[in-house]
Chain A
Amino acid sequence: MRYLPHTEEDIAEMLRVVGVDSLDDLFSSIPKNCCCRMRLNLPEAISEWELNSHMIDLAGNMGAFPEYKTYLGAGSYEHFIPASVSYLLGRSEFATAYTPYQPEMSQGTLQAIYEYQTLVTRLLGMEVANASLYDGASALAEALLMSIRITRRKKVAISRCVHPNYRQVVRTYLGPAEVEVIELPYLENGHTDIKKLDEIEDLAGVAVQSPNFFGSIEDLQTISEMTHKQGALFITAFTEPMAYGVLKNPGTLGADIVCGEGQSFGIPQSFGGPGLGMFACKMKYVRNMPGRLVGKTKDADGKNGFVLTLATREQHIRRGKATSNICSNNSLCALAAAMYMASVGSTGLKYLSRLNHDKSEYLKKKLVNAGFAISFGSPTFNEFVAEFPKGFENRYQELLEKKIVAGYPIAADYPELPNHYLFCVTETKSREMIDTLVKEIQR
C-alpha cells in the first residue's frame, strides 16, 4: 500500500530492536478481555483508478452547476471561485500543516490568518476578529454565550428571521446553560418586530440577521439603539457576507459582536460543509472572545513575526474555564476567504456585490411582470421570497426534471407561509438563465 512504506526487512529489523516476534505481539500487553477483534467487515481495498470511477459515479448522481441551475441560497451560496484561489489552497505547506503552535516554522499560516482577521474587521466594521469558528450557526451560539458571560444575565432574544437552522443550533448550545431564549416575531414587510424588546428585562444579548433569512435588510441602527437601552449586547449575524460589499457594515450601526457564515468567499458549497464561522467584536470584549487569535510580535533579533496569542482564553490553557472548547477550527477555509478577498479587492467586491443585487432585482421584476407576488416589501440583497399559487409543487417537480431548482420552499420552517419560495440569484446566473427560469415557471 503506497501510504505504508515499511518493507518486510524494515519490519523485521524494527521488531528485533523492540524485542518482539511479530506485529501482533506489539499488542500482547493489552489485557485479554479487551483484545482482539475479528477481521473488520469493510469493503476490500480498491485501487486509485477504481476509486476514481466509483466517485465519479457518486458525484454524477448530484444536481450541481453547470448542468443544473439552482436558485437556492438560505445559508449556502453559489459564487465563482477563481482558479488562482483553488490553486493556492492546494499548496501543501498550508494544507498539511498543523495548528501553528510552533510559530517559527508556521509564519506562513500565521501571517495569512493575521491578514484574514484584519480583512474581516474591515469587512464588518469591527475592531477585532478571531481566526475562525466552524460555521455561522455555531458562531452565533458562541456569540450569545459570550453575551451571557459578559453581562452575567440569563436571557437572550433572537429574531425569527434568523436562519431556522441557526436558531436550532442556538437552542442546542444554550440548553445546558439554562438560558431563556425569546423569539422576536416579524412584521409584514419582512423585518424583525422589535416592539417586544421594550418589555423584556435582564437581556444579555439581542441577535438579528441581516440580510435576514427572507433576504431583507434589517434596520440595524434602530435595533442597536433599543438593545443598548436595555443594557444588552447587540449581536448581528449574516449568512451572505457578499452583502457587505455594498451595504453599511454592522460595526458602524452599533454591533457589539458580529458573526456569520463566510462560505461565499472562495469556499466550495460542498453540501453544506466545511464552511467558515466569521466572528468579530469590539476590542473591549476581546478577552471573552472564543477561538484562536493571531497577534504580531518580535523575534530574538527584533524582526517582526506572528504568534497565536491571548491563549489564556483557550482550552489548552484554561481547560474547564475556557471561553470555548474549540481547538481545530476552519483555518484553511479562513485562508481561502482571505485569498478570495485579496483577489476581488475593494473595487472588485463593490462591483460583485452590486451585481448580485442587480441580478436578484432583475428576477424579482420579471416575476412581478409574470403576475407573481413578492412576499415582503422591504429592500433585499440577493435573496427574496416569492409567493406562488397553490399546487405550484407540481410545477416545481417538473422544473427539477428540466434541471432547474426554482427556489427553496420555506413552509417547513414557516408553516404560516405555504407556497412561499426563497430565491437567490448570484453573479453565476446570466440574463438568459434568469429569463429561462421565469419562462419555465410561467408555462
Chain B
Amino acid sequence: MKDFQGTSGLILNEPLLWEKGKPGRHGFSFPRQDIEINELNENLTGEGPDFPDLSEVDVVRHYTRLSQWNFGVDTGMYPLGSCTMKYNPKTNEEQASLPGFAKAHPLLPSSLSQGVLKLMFDLKSFLSEITGMAAVTLQPAAGAHGEFTGMLLIRAFHKSKGMKRTKIIIPDTAHGTNPASASLCGFRSIPLKSNKDGILSPKAVSEIMDEETAGIMVTNPNTLGLFEDNIREIADIVHKKGGLVYCDGANMNAVMGIIDMSAIGIDVLHLNLHKTFSTPHGGGGPGSGPVCVGKHLEPFLPIPRVVKTNGKYRLSEDFPDSIGKIHAFYGNVGVMIRAYSYILSMGPDNLKKASQLAVLNANYIKEKLKKIFHLAYDKPCMHECVFSDKFQKNNKITTLDMAKRLMDYGFHPPTIYFPMVVNGAMMIEPTETESKEDIDFFIEALAAIADEAQNNPDRVRNAPQKCKVRRLDETAAARRPCL
C-alpha cells in the first residue's frame, strides 16, 4: 500500500536575520591587512550599514532551515503550466562553476576569453538550428526581456522602412508579459479573442490587421496547450499588410525537432533557457531569454555580437543598425553555460524525444482526469492541458482550494487562474522528466481531492494543513503593506 507523499514532519522555526547574531560575530574569513591603512576624508564616510553580525554556523543554520520550508523540482512534481519545471541536471552546475568561466571578467581581451566566446557562438548556432531561425542574440536576461527586445527589433524594422506603426495584436490567451513588453516599447495592444476551439482564427485577424499595426504576438503552442493550427494563414495575413509575427517561445518544449518556426511564418521569437533548456528557476530567476530572428531582422540585433574570423572568436559592435544594448554586458552567461551543457548532453534525438514525452505525459493526464474535472477543450493537447473547477463549484470548492489541498498530498499545484479565457483554470504541464509512476500518483491525488470536494469539503477549504504556514492572507498584505 502506497502512502501519498505529503506527510507531516519536523519543520523548524527560524527568526529573521536581524533577530539573530551578536556584535563582533562574523561568518567570513578576513583577508590580511598587508598594506597601510589609508583613511578617507571623514565627510565622505558613513557608519556603514546596520547588518546583523552572525557566525558561519548562524548563517548556515539559518539558510538550511529556510530551504527546508521550500518545495523545488528536486522535492517533487511541479506541474506549473507554461513554466516547464523539468529536472535541472546537476552536471550543468559543475560546468557553470568551473573557475575559468565563473571567475572570468567580461572585459577580458578576446585572446583570454576564447573558451566562453566559442561556447556562446556555438550555443547561438544550436538555438538557431532548434528553432529554424537564421540568427540569434543571447543578450536578454529573461523571457520578458526577450519579448521587449523582440518588440524593439520590430520597431526598428518598421522605422528602417520609414513606417511608424503603433499597434500590436495580442491574443486573449497571451501571458501578461506580452502586452507589458509591447507597452514598454510604446505600442498599443489590440486584443484578439480566440475562437470556440481555443485557437486564433484567420478571419478575426484579418478584421483587425491594418497598415498601422506593427505585428502580432502569438504563443505557439498557446497557453491552453493547443497548437495554433491556423498559424500559417494568420502569418500570411499579417505579412501581407507589412506586419511581423512575434512568437512567445515559452512553450517550445512541446515542439523541439518537430516544428520549424521560420517555416510556419514566425519572424522573431524568444526562448526561455530556464524552461525548455533545463536551467534552474532559482525561485524567480536568473533566467535567460535569447531571441531568434529571420535574416531580415538580423541587422537590428543587440550589440556586441560574438563573431568568428579565421577560427578566432571576438565581440563585435560593428553593426550600425543595431538597436543597441539591453544588458550591461552579454546576458546571463552562467545560465547559457548550463543550457549549452544540456543540449550537448541530450543530442538531437533526445531533444525530440523530450518534446514527444512531454506531450505524451500531458495527454495521458488529460485522458485520465477528464471525467473527474471539467476539461476546457476536449481535443488532443500538446505539452500542457487545462481543466477548470466547473464540476467542483457545485460543492462551493474552487480551483484555489484544490490547489492548496494538493500541497498536503506532496505536489506543487499547477498554474491557476491562467489563461484567463478559462474560468477557474488549472493549467497542468508535467514535462518529460516525470515518470509514469509519479504522474499516476499525481492523478490519484487529484482524484482524491475531487472526492474530498464532494464528501469532505472542509478538508479542502482549510488546506493547506501540512505546510509551514496555513493559508496566507494576501489581501491584507496588499492593503497594509509590511515591507
Would you give the shortest CB distance from B127 to chain A, in whole angstroms? 10
- Evaluate contact between A166 and B177: CB separation under 8 angstroms: no
Given contacts A55-B341, A106-B71, contact A332 B30 (CB under 8 A): no
- Evaluate contact between A272 and B333: CB separation under 8 angstroms: yes
Q: How far is the CA of A330 from the CA of B278 in the complex (A)?
A: 16
Residues of B within 8 A of A178 (CB): 186
Chain B residue nearest to A360 in the complex (CB): B38
- Evaluate contact between B282 and A324: CB separation under 8 angstroms: no
Q: How far is the CA of A305 from the CA of B469 in the complex (A)?
A: 7
Given contacts A176-B186, A362-B35, contact A91 B63 (CB under 8 A): yes
Would you give the shortest CB distance from B177 to chain A, in whole angstroms? 5
Q: How far is the CA of A253 from the CA of B129 in the complex (A)?
A: 52
Q: How far is the CA of A3 from the CA of B60 in the complex (A)?
A: 31
Would you give the shortest CB distance from A123 to chain B, in whole angstroms? 4
Residues of A within 8 A of B364 (CB): 14, 17-18
Chain A residue nearest to B72 in the complex (CB): A96
Residues of A within 8 A of B344 (CB): 43, 45-46, 51, 54
- Evaluate contact between A347 and B144: CB separation under 8 angstroms: no
Binds B, one of A167-175, A186-194, A200-208, A223-231: A167-175
Interface size for A (C-beta < 8 A) is 197
- Evaluate contact between A56 and B87: CB separation under 8 angstroms: no
- 1/0 per residue, CB under 8 A from A, across B338-382: the answer is 000101111111111110110111011001100000000001100
- Evaluate contact between A40 and B351: CB separation under 8 angstroms: yes
Would you give the shortest CB distance from A317 to chain B, in whole angstroms? 7
Would you give the shortest CB distance from A42 to chain B, in whole angstroms? 4
Interface SS of B by simple majority = loop
Given contacts A17-B367, A35-B258, contact A42 B435 (CB under 8 A): no
Q: How far is the CA of A135 from the CA of B41 in the complex (A)?
A: 30
- Evaluate contact between A321 and B183: CB separation under 8 angstroms: yes
- Evaluate contact between A104 and B40: CB separation under 8 angstroms: no
- Evaluate contact between A104 and B404: CB separation under 8 angstroms: yes
- Evaluate contact between A55 and B180: CB separation under 8 angstroms: no
- Evaluate contact between A6 and B357: CB separation under 8 angstroms: yes
Would you give the shortest CB distance from A84 to chain B, in whole angstroms? 5
- Evaluate contact between B72 and A42: CB separation under 8 angstroms: no
Binds A, one of B201-209, B224-232, B390-398, B447-455: B224-232
Q: Which of B147, B282, B330 is close to A95, meaning CB atoms less than 8 Å apart?
A: B282
Would you give the shortest CB distance from B254 to chain A, in whole angstroms? 9
Q: A328-B287, A343-B56, A357-B40 are in contact. List 16 more A-B contacts (CB 8 A).
A: A17-B364, A41-B348, A51-B344, A58-B115, A63-B112, A65-B103, A92-B74, A106-B69, A122-B50, A165-B325, A248-B45, A298-B472, A329-B142, A351-B30, A358-B35, A379-B40
**Can you list 18 A-B pairs, Cβ within 8 angstroms, ordered by A?**
A5-B436, A14-B436, A39-B348, A43-B344, A44-B348, A64-B101, A90-B93, A98-B283, A102-B407, A104-B472, A169-B326, A171-B324, A176-B186, A272-B329, A299-B473, A300-B471, A300-B473, A335-B282
